[in-house]
Structure 1
Amino acid sequence: FNDEEEDELMMPSDELAQSDSEFVNSWKDKDIDP
């Protein structure tokens, strides 16, 4: 957290997510089966 609202939905690819679900899915560990 860096106190800058414009990058709150930043994905690991350095792109801004268009939705909350896109943001969450981008940070999921694909190697872990829930």
Structure 2
Amino acid sequence: MHFFSYEEIHPFCHLLSNFLLKYINSDVFLM
């Protein structure tokens, strides 16, 4: 079993968090 290192998973988490923040912010602005 392969365990992801922080260096491997951090970029993906960073992109995902940015996407979620943009989505939430745009959703709030639409309301």
Fold equivalence (TM over 0.5): no
- Would you tell me which structure has more helix in proportion to its own residues? 2
If asked which structure has higher relative contact order (CA below 8 Å, sep 6+), I would say 1
TMscore range, shorter length? under 0.3
Give me the TM-score of the superposition, normalised by structure 2.
0.25
Give me the TM-score of the superposition, normalised by structure 1.
0.25
> Greater Rg, structure 1 or structure 2?
2
